[in-house]
Amino acid sequence: MKVRVICAAVAFLTAATPALASTFCTAAPRSTWLPQVEMLQRLVDAGYTIERFEITDGGCYHFQGYDKAGKPLNIDFSPVDGQVVQKRSA
């Protein structure tokens, strides 16, 4: 069930949201990136609540949502390895 919700969220967010101007993460071809579903699953498994998930103009996976404690966050991840590139409190 979780995977279906995540897949639906990926499809909606990538189609409905324009790319953001942001931190530069990578120029690597998308064929080398982690699948969006896998990145979303990592966020859910880490206890984050996802409000938005986008691909930025700088080639980042951009997460906007809340941590386990309910603190709002904005995080840019490298789509190649999932490492945090920039983390900001919202």
Query: Could you report the per-residue pLDDT of 34-85, keeping only the tens digit for each?
Result: 999 999 999 999 999 999 999 999 999 999 999 999 999 999 999 999 999 9
d(CA 9, CA 76): 18
| H or E element in which residue 15 lies | helix 2-16
**One-letter amino acid for residue 67 of the chain:** D
| H or E element in which residue 88 lies | strand 84-89
pTM for this model (two decimals): 0.72
